[in-house]
Amino acid sequence: MAEPASGNGDNRRSKRRKRSRRTNPDGTMTLIEHIYEFRRRLGFAMLAVVIGGILGFIWFGTKIGPIPSLGDLVKDPYCAIPPSRRLDSAAGCRLLQTVPFEAFMTQLKVGLAAGAVLLSPAWLYQLWAFIAPGLYSKERKYALTFVAFASVLFAGGAVLAYILFPHALQLLMGFGQDAFVTALTADKYISFLLSLLIIFGISFELPLLVVMLNRVGVVKYAQLKKWRRGIVFALFVFAAFATPGSDPFSMLGLAGALTVLFEIAVQLARIHDRKKDKLRGDEGWDQLADDEAAPFDYTPSTADDEPSTPTASGGRSSTDDIT
């Protein structure tokens, strides 16, 4: 009975060595090992989201020092509506529960969303750890920069949406004069708020996408300058359709922020293209005729020139394990 236990221990140690950067720097794995690694990383990422959801669920009704509870943060825009326009209970401003467990499901939904944001470094690291072995060092640098700026831009968009949400809500609830009174159910109110936060957060990734496309040479500054008016118009049209309720505050806020961020992306593309053109001029590439070959070494390498890396299984190269 002791031998299987020892074999399992050796197997686990072998898997840890394969995942180690020191013993396996290029992340070479077979297809089935990639699937197992993906399952393991996905499990850790889901565990981080669940732990964050538990913390968010607790935070929903608990104040943390000077930080208000998550429930108060979510309810404050609704409570900012004038008392004459909303339906209050004897205990003050509260959301309406129309079905059993609606309050529980709302608290769970908000807690999971907040927990996913709070512990985003944990599950983003799992995603990064899965794809990093297949990237070159230069590509890893760009990927880390992309993830860092994407997180900041998403958070900035969500914050802007939360700031504009009370104004949008007051405007939408102001129609009908005295013929209506506002009594929002918790489920629909939270869904409206979360959808606005997600839309603003994802929309703020557009300038980063423009910069990355410019870095890889897909889009040039000259093209962006030529398309600027059309793109700005398209941003306003997108904001009109993307914002729930189509209120002018959210629409103008989103369109204005996207226009400013897009202009920043255009200027970054301008600086990058100018540096690239200067480098081409220093190397003399711009002096070449259209039918003249660039000064590259076109001598192909043969299979004999490739270094062979023997393995423990008997001399096979590491490229055999990839297939």
The Cα angle at residue 85 between residues 83 and 88, in degrees rounded to 5: 50
Does residue 153 fall inside a structural domain?
A: yes
Q: Which of these, 145, 254, 162, lies nearest to 208 by C-alpha position? A: 145
Whether 233 shows a pLDDT value over 90: the answer reads: yes
Does residue 110 fall inside a structural domain?
A: yes
Contact 107, 58 (CB under 8 A): no
Does residue 296 fall inside a structural domain?
A: no
Stretch 194-203: mean pLDDT: 86
Does residue 56 fall inside a structural domain?
A: yes
Does residue 309 fall inside a structural domain?
A: no
Whether 313 shows a pLDDT value over 50: the answer reads: no
Number of domains in the chain: 1
pTM of the model: 0.69
Residue 12: per-residue pLDDT: 61
**271 or 87: which leads in pLDDT:** 271
Phi-psi group of 314: left, alpha or beta (phi > 0 → left; psi -120 to 50 → alpha; rest → beta): left
The single-letter DSSP state of residue 177 is: T
Whether 239 shows a pLDDT value over 90: the answer reads: no
Does residue 21 fall inside a structural domain?
A: no
Average pLDDT, the chain: 77
Least confident range from 20-34, 185-199, 270-284: namely 20-34
Whether 308 shows a pLDDT value over 60: the answer reads: no
Residue 321: per-residue pLDDT: 43
Residue 320: per-residue pLDDT: 43
Does residue 93 fall inside a structural domain?
A: yes
Least confident range from 48-62, 74-88, 203-217, 289-303: namely 289-303
Phi-psi group of 220: left, alpha or beta (phi > 0 → left; psi -120 to 50 → alpha; rest → beta): beta
Whether 317 shows a pLDDT value over 50: the answer reads: no
Does residue 202 fall inside a structural domain?
A: yes
Dist CA 171 CA 323 (whole Å) = 60
Q: Which of these, 211, 142, 210, 196, lies nearest to 166 by C-alpha position? A: 196
Q: Which domain covers residue 103, as residue numbers?
A: 31-283
Stretch 70-88: mean pLDDT: 79
Q: Which CA distances in Å does 38 have to 15, 127, 129, 131, 303? A: 14, 9, 10, 10, 32
Residue 318: per-residue pLDDT: 43
Residue 44: per-residue pLDDT: 92
Residue 145: per-residue pLDDT: 79
Least confident range from 139-148, 208-217, 222-231, 242-251: namely 242-251
Phi, psi of 168 (to 5 degrees): -65, -40
Dist CA 255 CA 250 (whole Å) = 8
